[in-house]
Chains A and B, each alone.
Chain A
Protein backbone atom coordinates (compact mmCIF):
# COMPACT_ATOMS: atom_id res chain seq x y z
CA UNK A 1 0.00 0.00 0.00
CA UNK A 2 1.11 3.54 -0.68
CA UNK A 3 2.13 5.32 2.49
CA UNK A 4 4.26 7.92 4.18
CA UNK A 5 5.96 6.87 7.39
CA UNK A 6 7.45 9.03 10.09
CA UNK A 7 8.86 6.45 12.48
CA UNK A 8 9.43 8.83 15.38
CA UNK A 9 6.30 10.04 17.14
CA UNK A 10 8.17 12.25 19.56
CA UNK A 11 11.74 13.52 19.70
CA UNK A 12 13.30 15.52 22.51
CA UNK A 13 16.46 17.44 21.75
CA UNK A 14 18.56 19.91 23.69
CA UNK A 15 18.81 23.46 22.47
CA UNK A 16 21.88 23.79 20.29
CA UNK A 17 21.98 20.08 19.44
CA UNK A 18 21.39 18.67 16.01
CA UNK A 19 18.05 17.30 14.89
CA UNK A 20 17.12 14.68 12.33
CA UNK A 21 13.57 13.67 11.51
CA UNK A 22 12.99 10.60 9.42
CA UNK A 23 10.53 10.13 6.59
CA UNK A 24 10.06 7.15 4.32
CA UNK A 25 7.56 6.71 1.54
CA UNK A 26 6.20 3.71 -0.28
CA UNK A 27 5.17 4.55 -3.84
CA UNK A 28 5.96 3.11 -7.23
CA UNK A 29 7.37 6.33 -8.63
CA UNK A 30 9.26 9.17 -6.97
CA UNK A 31 6.72 11.69 -5.73
CA UNK A 32 7.13 15.33 -4.94
CA UNK A 33 8.37 15.53 -1.35
CA UNK A 34 7.63 18.15 1.29
CA UNK A 35 8.29 18.98 4.91
CA UNK A 36 5.87 21.21 6.78
CA UNK A 37 5.98 22.53 10.34
CA UNK A 38 2.99 23.29 12.54
CA UNK A 39 3.09 25.28 15.75
CA UNK A 40 0.26 24.73 18.24
CA UNK A 41 -3.03 26.15 17.03
CA UNK A 42 -1.56 27.22 13.72
CA UNK A 43 -1.65 26.14 10.11
CA UNK A 44 1.20 24.39 8.33
CA UNK A 45 4.25 26.26 7.09
CA UNK A 46 6.31 24.89 4.21
CA UNK A 47 9.92 24.26 5.25
CA UNK A 48 11.21 22.83 1.99
CA UNK A 49 10.35 20.68 -0.98
CA UNK A 50 11.99 18.37 -3.48
CA UNK A 51 10.83 17.85 -7.03
CA UNK A 52 14.01 16.89 -8.89
CA UNK A 53 17.69 17.77 -9.25
CA UNK A 54 20.08 18.19 -6.36
CA UNK A 55 19.09 15.70 -3.71
CA UNK A 56 20.13 17.98 -0.83
CA UNK A 57 17.53 20.67 -0.42
CA UNK A 58 17.87 23.81 1.65
CA UNK A 59 14.83 25.27 3.33
CA UNK A 60 13.82 28.03 5.64
CA UNK A 61 14.82 28.40 9.29
CA UNK A 62 18.11 26.59 8.73
CA UNK A 63 16.55 23.26 7.78
CA UNK A 64 17.73 20.96 5.05
CA UNK A 65 16.58 17.60 3.74
CA UNK A 66 18.19 14.89 1.70
CA UNK A 67 16.37 12.71 -0.81
CA UNK A 68 17.72 9.18 -1.07
CA UNK A 69 16.03 7.24 -3.83
CA UNK A 70 17.59 3.92 -2.84
CA UNK A 71 16.09 4.22 0.63
CA UNK A 72 12.85 5.96 -0.37
CA UNK A 73 13.66 8.50 2.28
CA UNK A 74 13.52 12.25 2.71
CA UNK A 75 15.00 13.02 6.11
CA UNK A 76 14.94 16.51 7.59
CA UNK A 77 17.92 17.93 9.46
CA UNK A 78 18.97 20.99 11.37
CA UNK A 79 22.50 21.38 12.74
CA UNK A 80 21.57 23.40 15.81
CA UNK A 81 18.03 23.66 17.11
CA UNK A 82 16.52 26.68 18.77
CA UNK A 83 13.76 26.66 21.37
CA UNK A 84 11.43 28.07 18.70
CA UNK A 85 11.83 24.87 16.67
CA UNK A 86 9.57 23.05 19.11
CA UNK A 87 6.58 22.09 16.96
CA UNK A 88 4.94 19.31 15.00
CA UNK A 89 6.67 18.31 11.78
CA UNK A 90 4.91 16.63 8.89
CA UNK A 91 6.42 14.89 5.91
CA UNK A 92 4.17 14.78 2.87
CA UNK A 93 4.25 13.50 -0.69
CA UNK A 94 2.29 14.38 -3.82
CA UNK A 95 2.13 13.62 -7.48
CA UNK A 96 1.00 16.04 -10.14
CA UNK A 97 -2.48 16.69 -8.80
CA UNK A 98 -1.45 18.70 -5.71
CA UNK A 99 -3.08 16.11 -3.46
CA UNK A 100 -0.90 15.47 -0.43
CA UNK A 101 -0.44 12.31 1.59
CA UNK A 102 0.86 13.07 5.06
CA UNK A 103 2.88 11.15 7.55
CA UNK A 104 1.56 10.93 11.09
CA UNK A 105 3.84 13.70 12.24
CA UNK A 106 6.74 14.00 14.69
CA UNK A 107 6.50 16.18 17.77
CA UNK A 108 9.75 17.93 18.59
CA UNK A 109 10.38 19.11 22.12
CA UNK A 110 13.38 21.33 22.80
CA UNK A 111 14.83 21.35 26.29
CA UNK A 112 16.97 24.17 27.61
Chain B
Protein backbone atom coordinates (compact mmCIF):
# COMPACT_ATOMS: atom_id res chain seq x y z
CA UNK B 1 0.00 0.00 0.00
CA UNK B 2 0.82 3.75 -0.09
CA UNK B 3 2.23 3.83 -3.59
CA UNK B 4 3.09 7.08 -5.33
CA UNK B 5 3.89 7.32 -9.01
CA UNK B 6 5.54 10.04 -11.03
CA UNK B 7 5.49 10.67 -14.73
CA UNK B 8 7.64 11.05 -16.68
CA UNK B 9 10.64 9.36 -15.10
CA UNK B 10 12.97 11.43 -17.21
CA UNK B 11 12.53 14.26 -19.67
CA UNK B 12 14.80 16.27 -21.92
CA UNK B 13 13.59 19.61 -23.19
CA UNK B 14 14.87 22.69 -24.93
CA UNK B 15 15.57 25.88 -23.07
CA UNK B 16 12.49 28.12 -22.95
CA UNK B 17 9.92 25.36 -23.09
CA UNK B 18 7.65 24.20 -20.26
CA UNK B 19 7.60 20.77 -18.72
CA UNK B 20 4.83 19.18 -16.65
CA UNK B 21 5.49 16.46 -14.09
CA UNK B 22 2.64 14.43 -12.64
CA UNK B 23 2.50 12.91 -9.18
CA UNK B 24 -0.22 10.41 -8.35
CA UNK B 25 -1.16 8.56 -5.19
CA UNK B 26 -2.30 5.19 -6.51
CA UNK B 27 -4.00 3.53 -3.54
CA UNK B 28 -4.88 6.36 -1.19
CA UNK B 29 -6.17 9.89 -1.23
CA UNK B 30 -3.81 12.69 -0.32
CA UNK B 31 -4.95 16.14 0.65
CA UNK B 32 -1.31 17.18 0.96
CA UNK B 33 1.48 16.50 -1.48
CA UNK B 34 5.00 17.86 -1.56
CA UNK B 35 7.49 18.71 -4.26
CA UNK B 36 11.22 18.42 -3.71
CA UNK B 37 14.31 19.08 -5.70
CA UNK B 38 17.47 17.11 -5.16
CA UNK B 39 20.93 18.06 -6.32
CA UNK B 40 23.62 15.40 -6.77
CA UNK B 41 24.96 13.99 -3.53
CA UNK B 42 22.64 16.19 -1.48
CA UNK B 43 19.55 15.86 0.62
CA UNK B 44 16.11 16.83 -0.57
CA UNK B 45 15.13 20.48 -0.75
CA UNK B 46 11.44 21.16 -0.21
CA UNK B 47 10.08 23.42 -2.92
CA UNK B 48 6.41 23.61 -2.06
CA UNK B 49 3.50 22.06 -0.26
CA UNK B 50 0.52 21.28 -2.44
CA UNK B 51 -2.92 21.24 -0.85
CA UNK B 52 -5.91 19.84 -2.69
CA UNK B 53 -8.30 22.56 -3.73
CA UNK B 54 -6.16 25.46 -2.61
CA UNK B 55 -3.03 27.32 -3.55
CA UNK B 56 0.33 25.75 -2.98
CA UNK B 57 2.64 27.05 -0.28
CA UNK B 58 6.10 27.76 -1.61
CA UNK B 59 9.32 27.69 0.37
CA UNK B 60 11.44 30.79 0.59
CA UNK B 61 13.44 31.37 -2.56
CA UNK B 62 11.26 29.22 -4.83
CA UNK B 63 9.67 31.19 -7.65
CA UNK B 64 5.98 30.37 -7.70
CA UNK B 65 5.55 31.73 -11.23
CA UNK B 66 8.28 29.48 -12.50
CA UNK B 67 7.25 26.32 -10.69
CA UNK B 68 3.49 26.09 -11.07
CA UNK B 69 1.77 23.57 -8.84
CA UNK B 70 -1.76 22.30 -9.26
CA UNK B 71 -3.50 19.86 -6.93
CA UNK B 72 -6.88 19.50 -8.52
CA UNK B 73 -7.81 16.12 -7.11
CA UNK B 74 -7.05 14.00 -4.08
CA UNK B 75 -4.81 11.72 -6.12
CA UNK B 76 -3.01 14.06 -8.50
CA UNK B 77 -0.63 16.97 -8.17
CA UNK B 78 1.31 18.48 -11.04
CA UNK B 79 4.46 20.56 -11.18
CA UNK B 80 5.03 22.64 -14.30
CA UNK B 81 8.47 24.11 -14.84
CA UNK B 82 7.80 27.13 -17.03
CA UNK B 83 10.34 28.59 -19.43
CA UNK B 84 12.88 26.02 -18.34
CA UNK B 85 16.57 26.87 -18.39
CA UNK B 86 19.65 24.67 -17.98
CA UNK B 87 19.92 25.62 -14.31
CA UNK B 88 16.52 23.99 -13.74
CA UNK B 89 18.03 20.63 -14.66
CA UNK B 90 17.67 18.47 -11.58
CA UNK B 91 15.97 15.50 -9.97
CA UNK B 92 12.43 16.35 -8.88
CA UNK B 93 10.67 14.14 -6.35
CA UNK B 94 7.11 14.33 -5.12
CA UNK B 95 5.57 12.82 -2.03
CA UNK B 96 2.06 12.36 -0.71
CA UNK B 97 0.92 12.47 2.87
CA UNK B 98 -0.96 9.49 4.32
CA UNK B 99 -1.46 8.63 8.00
CA UNK B 100 1.15 11.11 9.25
CA UNK B 101 3.73 9.73 6.82
CA UNK B 102 5.10 10.96 3.51
CA UNK B 103 5.35 8.42 0.72
CA UNK B 104 7.63 9.30 -2.15
CA UNK B 105 7.43 8.91 -5.87
CA UNK B 106 10.33 7.50 -7.90
CA UNK B 107 11.46 10.92 -9.09
CA UNK B 108 11.77 12.71 -12.42
CA UNK B 109 15.10 13.54 -13.99
CA UNK B 110 14.84 16.81 -15.92
CA UNK B 111 17.53 17.85 -18.35
CA UNK B 112 17.19 21.23 -20.02
CA UNK B 113 19.39 21.77 -23.06
Mark A residues whose CB is within 8 Å of B: 32, 34, 36, 41-46, 49, 51, 90, 94, 96, 98-100, 102-105
Least Cβ distance of B101 to chain A in Å?
6
Residue pair B104, A98 in contact (C-beta under 8 Å) = no
Q: For chain B, which range describes its interface: under 10, 10 to 19, 20 to 34, or 35 or more residues?
A: 20 to 34
A44-B93, A90-B43 are known contacts. Are A96 and B107 too (CB-CB below 8 A)?
A: no
CA distance A94 to B91 in the complex (A): 23
Residue pair B106, A102 in contact (C-beta under 8 Å) = no
Mark B residues whose CB is within 8 Å of A: 2, 4, 6, 32, 34, 42-44, 46, 49, 91, 93, 95, 97, 100-107, 109
CA distance A43 to B32 in the complex (A): 18
Residue pair A102, B104 in contact (C-beta under 8 Å) = no
Pick the contact of A43 from B42, B100, B101, B104 — CB < 8 Å? B104
CA distance A107 to B96 in the complex (A): 25
CA distance A32 to B6 in the complex (A): 26
Residue pair A100, B43 in contact (C-beta under 8 Å) = no
CA distance A34 to B100 in the complex (A): 11
Contacts of A90 in B (CB 8 A): 43-44
Q: Which of B6, B97, B102, B106 has the most CB of A within 10 A?
A: B102
Contacts of A36 in B (CB 8 A): 104
Residue pair B43, A43 in contact (C-beta under 8 Å) = no
Contacts of B100 in A (CB 8 A): 32, 51, 94, 96, 98
CA distance A105 to B38 in the complex (A): 12
CA distance A42 to B100 in the complex (A): 22
